[in-house]
Amino acid sequence: METKTKPELVALLEELLVNTPVAELRDDAESLKAAFYKLHRADLEAARKEWAEAGNDLEKFEAPADADEVRLKELMAEYRRRRDEHLAKQEQNLEANLATKLTIIEELKGLVNAGETLGATFNTFRELQQRWREAGPVPLGATKDLWETYNHHVENFYDYIKINRELRDLDLKKNYEAKVALCEAAEALVLESSIVAAFHRLQKLHDEWREVGPVAAEHKETVWERFREASGRINKAHQSHFEEVKEEQNRNLDLKNELCGQVEALAAGSYATRKEWDKASDELLEIQKVWKTIGFAPKKNNTRVYERFRKACDAFFEAKRGFYGEMKGEMEANLALKNEICAAAEAISASEDWKATSDELITLQNRWKEIGPVPRKHSDAVWKRFRAACDAFFERKTAHFGEIEGDYKANLEKKRALLAAANEKGFEGLTFDDIKEFQRAWGEVGFVPIKQKESIAKQYKELVDKMFATLRGGERERSMDKFRERVGAMKSGGATGGAGRLKHEREKLYNKVRGLESDIATLENNIGFFGRSKNAEAMIADVKEKIARAKAEKDSTIEKIKMIDNAAD
C-alpha cells in the first residue's frame, strides 16, 4: 500500500467492500485508511508550505477540497454500517441459540413427568441431547450457568427414569471414555510447538467436555481432576508465554528509546561541511538498520516511540536538505539526494535478504517522495535509474518465492537424512575430515520451512557437538601419548643433558599456564562490559566458548608438567 496513490487506495477499498465479507475487512480497511491519511497529511503539508513560501499568512490557510477524502469517508461509513449489522446479527444468533437451549432444558425437565414408555422417553432424551449438540454458541456470560443447568437436569433424568443398570452403565462408560479421550488430548497439548495454538485448542476441548454427559460417580472427581491438571499446565504456559512477550517488548522499548536519543543528538548536531553531513548520514543509516532488527514495543508505546524516531530522522534529513539548498540551490541538492537513493537501491538490488531489503527499498521509496523536484534535464533519467533498481529486486523476489516453498521442504528431508545417516554410522573412528565433510554436506543444503528451522538446527548443533567432543577426547589422548614419548626421549638423553631439556620444557609449559590464566581472567573480565542486546548475547556466548577452550588447554598443560615432574623423580 505504500506505493499506491490516494485514488488507488479509495478504489481498492471500494473493491474490497464489494468482494470481501465484512467480517474479514477490519485489518485491510484500517490499513487503507492509515495509508490514505499518511498521503493526505503529506499533501496538506506541501500545500501549507507552498502557501507560506508564497508570502501568505499561515493562519489564513484553508485546506483545499479533496474529493478522494470525501469518497473515503463515505466508504468507511458504509463499512462501519455493514460491520455493525454483522455484529448485531451475530448477537441475535447467540441469543437465538440461548433461547433454543433454554427450550431444550424445559423439554428435558418435562421428561420426568412424561407418560410415555421407558423406551420412548429415552429416545426423546437422545433427540434432545442431539438438538443440544447441534445448537450453536450462546453469549459468553450465559455459557457456564446454562451448561450447569443442563447437566443438572440430565442427571435428574437419569435418576428419575431409573434406567436399567446395563443401559445406564453403558451410557456412563461411553461418557467416561469420551472424557478420558479429552484428558489425553489436553495432556498431548504440551507437545504443541505453539503455546497460543495449544491454548485455543484447549478452549475447544473445554467446550467438548461440557457437551459430554455424566460419568459414574466413582470416576467423576478423578477424571475431572485429570482434565483440570492438564488444563492448568497449558494455562500456566500460556501465561508465562505472554509474560515473556511483555518482557521482550519492554526491552525493545528501552532499546528503541536509546536509538531515538542517538538520532535526536544527530539531528541537533552542527555540521559545516558536506563530509561532516555524509558522516552523520552514515551514522543515522546504521541506526535505522539497527532499529529494523528490534521487535515490537508494547502496543501502547509502539506508535509513540516510532513517531519519535521518525520525527528525529525527518528533522535530520530536513536540516540536511537545507544545507544542500544553501550550498548549490534546492534542486541541485535534491538531485544529489536522489542520486544517493539510487546508489543505495542499486547497492542492494541484487540482495537475497528479501525481507530486510524489501523494507529498505520501501523506506528509500518513501524518502524519494519526500524529496522535492530536480532539474528538468535530469528528472526522467534519475527516476528511470531508481525505478530500474527497485524493479530488478522485486521481480527477482517474486520469482524466488514462487519456487522456494517446494525447495524448502525438499531441503528439510535432505537434512533429516544427513542426521539419520550420521547417527546410524556412529562416532567410532571419527576424524576431523569426517566432521568437515558432514558440515560441508549440511551447508550445501539450502533453507528449510520456518516452522522446522529451529528444531532441525538444534538437532544439527547437538550432533556436531557430540562429534567434536568425541574427536577432542581422542586427540587429547593421542597428544598426551606423544608428549609422554617425548619426555621419555628427553630423559634418556643423559643425566645432565636430559635433565636440562626437561627443565627447559617445564619452564616453557609453566609460562604457558601463566599466559592462559591471564587470558582467561581477561576474557572473564570482558564479559562484564557487554550490554544486554541480542548482539551482545551472541558475543558473550563466543567469549564463554573461548574461556572453556582456554581452561581445557590449561588443564592439559598442567598434566604435561606433572608428567615431567614424575619423570624427573
Mean pLDDT of all residues in 442-450:
82
Higher model confidence: residue 272 or residue 420? 420
Residue range 75-79: average pLDDT? 90
Contact 190, 234 (CB under 8 A): yes
Amino acid identity for residue 408 in this structure: Y
3-state secondary structure of 371: coil
Amino acid at 85: E
Question: pLDDT at position 390, please?
Answer: 92
211 falls in which pLDDT band (50, 70, 90)? confident
Residue 119: band (very low, low, confident or very high) from pLDDT cuts 50, 70, 90: low
Cell numbers for 482, please give them.
Answer: 606423544
In angstroms, what CA-CA distances link 329 with 46, 326, 334, 373?
19, 6, 9, 11
Is the predicted pLDDT of residue 417 greater than 90, yes or no?
A: no
Displacement of CA 308 from its chain's centroid (Å): 24
Tell me what pLDDT residue 181 has.
92
pLDDT of 542 above 80: no
pLDDT of residue 366: 92
Give the mean pLDDT of 504-523. 85
**Other CB atoms closer than 10 Å to residue 62's CB: what's the count?**
7
The runs of H, that is alpha helices, within 54-139 are 67-110, 118-134
- Scanning the structure block, which residue is given the C-alpha cell 577426547? 473
Determine the average pLDDT of the residues in 326-338.
78
Assign 33 a pLDDT band (cuts: 50, 70, 90): confident
Q: Backbone dihedral region of 11: left (phi > 0), alpha (psi from -120 to 50 degrees) or beta?
A: alpha
Condensed to tens digits (0 to 9), the pLDDT of residues 59-76 reads 888 888 889 889 989 989
Q: Cα(417)–Cα(435) distance, rounded to whole angstroms?
A: 16
Mean pLDDT of 485-510: 74
Residue 533 has pLDDT above 60, yes or no: no
Q: What local confidence, expressed as pLDDT, does residue 477 receive?
A: 64
pLDDT, position 1: 57
Is the pLDDT at 24 greater than 90? The verdict is no
pLDDT digits (tens, 9 = 90+) for 121-165: 778 888 888 888 888 888 888 888 888 888 888 887 777 666 555
Per-residue pLDDT reduced to its tens digit, 334-357:
888 889 989 988 888 888 888 888
Q: For residue 323, which amino acid is it?
A: F
Sort residue 426 into left (φ over 0), alpha (ψ -120 to 50) or beta.
left
| pLDDT at residue number 568 | 67
What number is the average pLDDT over the span 16-40? 86
Per-residue confidence band for 292, with pLDDT thresholds at 50, 70 and 90: confident
Q: Are 253 and 305 in contact (CB under 8 A)?
A: yes
Q: What is the pLDDT of residue 475?
A: 57
The phi, psi pair for 139, rounded to 5°, reads -55, 140
| Grid cell for residue 296 | 515490537
- Is it the case that residue 496 has pLDDT exceeding 70? no
Of residues 354 and 264, the one with the higher pLDDT is 264
Helix 118-134, helix 67-110: angle, nearest 10: 170
What percent of the chain stands above pLDDT 90? 7
CA distances to 129, 318, 519 from 270, in Å: 79, 13, 43
Q: Which residues contact 471 (CB under 8 A, 6 or more apart)?
A: 430, 431, 432, 435
Orientation angle between helical segments 299-328 and 330-348, nearest 10 degrees: 130
| pLDDT band at residue 497 using 50, 70 and 90 as cut-offs | low
